[in-house]
Amino acid sequence: MPIASRAPAYPTRLRIASTLLVLSAACSADSAGIMSPTITTTDSTASNPPVTQAPGATGSASAPNVMAGAIFWADPSSSARSTADAWRITRPADAAQMDKIASQGTARWIGNWNADVRADVNAAVSTITGAGAFPVLVAYNIPQRDCGGFSGSNNISVQGYRDWITAFANGIGARRAAVILEPDALAGMDCLSAPDQQVRTDLLRYAVQTLVAKGSVSVYLDAGNPRWKTAATMAQRLVSAGIAQAQGFSLNVSNFYLTSENTAYGAQVSGLVGGKHFVIDTGRNGLGPATDAAWCNPDGRAIGARPTTATGNALVDAYLWIKTPGESDGTCNGAPAAGTWMPEYALGLSQRG
């Protein structure tokens, strides 16, 4: 059974205050939201998954939270902030609701829309750290991204990606940052041939090694969501992609599943990959998924837990807003292209959260 695309297409602008940097973010605009399929798993291990640790997995449940106490940067020039300010006089109640989004820090997506990835990453990290905040970036440019879905069309070669991720890492340099690595790349790779799946995991392993080699970069390999792949399958894929060297993995990027469901699933995956930590995208999961588990601009959703490292769970390093609430998931449900800012949709998310 085919899986619907969960990744966003071309994201909208991501503006970094006091710079001329304009970043577009895939299904997340300000953060990048990628939406993952909402269907149940179809892999062969779905029933009776093994409980043994995946070969090659290393880590420790007692490992430190590298983001403990971090402050996440809220862009003063974000679409949410601009909308709230524009409504302040004529729509004061709505402006106050929009402030709920504008006041929160979101991840910065970097992809094929960045003409100079090293310079753009450097500018973003400089601006964020200069404000006393902790940079959370999303690397989103893997070859055959989104398998031709809303967030595809990046047309990068294998060597081109190696060069791209190297430039990304060099843009961060020796500074501290967290990188959410390639949302959907592992969970959504069933559309690829076996050789291309191997290429993908090899490239992700290279990306992990390249980023971690900088010394202060914490990498979270994306692991989809609780209803995409079984914990056993995802653990095997994470191991193949180099989770042993990463800080951990990310869950629920651009999706709507409840934090409790993600936490339970994450604990299962963590147990199979040596106790690795994880982060959860809570930007739009305040009421959980829609009745039909729709992932593309579903009605009636709400913002969730605000970005924080105070999760109350030793394995969960942070609740993050990886996809900016209010940015389109794609041209579905009457919405514009992925990453486009939708003020009225954002308002509804805020009112319900």
Active-site residues, by number, are 146, 184, 329
- Measure the CA–CA gap between 259 and 239, rounded to whole angstroms: 24
Among residues 177, 128, 106, 113, the alpha carbon closest in space to that of 319 is found at 106
How far, in Å, are 105, 107, 112, 300 from residue 87 at the CA level?
21, 25, 33, 22
β-pair partners for 13: 24
CA angle 310, 66, 230 (to 5 degrees): 80
> What does the chain come to in residues?
353
Closest residue by Cα to residue 286 from 317, 323, 258, 255: 258
Separation between Cα atoms, residue 233 and residue 274, nearest integer Å: 15
Closest CA to 239 of 83, 27, 94, 59: 59
Structure tokens at 75: 């862009």
Looking up tokens 């390249």 gives: 210
For residue 332, give the 3-state DSSP assignment.
coil
* Cα 79 to Cα 233: distance, rounded to the nearest angstrom: 38
Question: Over the Cα atoms of the chain, what is R_g?
Answer: 18
CB 316 within 8 A of CB 267: no
Which of 226, 217, 227, 289 minimizes the C-alpha distance to 248? 217
Name the residue with tokens 């290393």: 58
Amino acid letter at 230? T
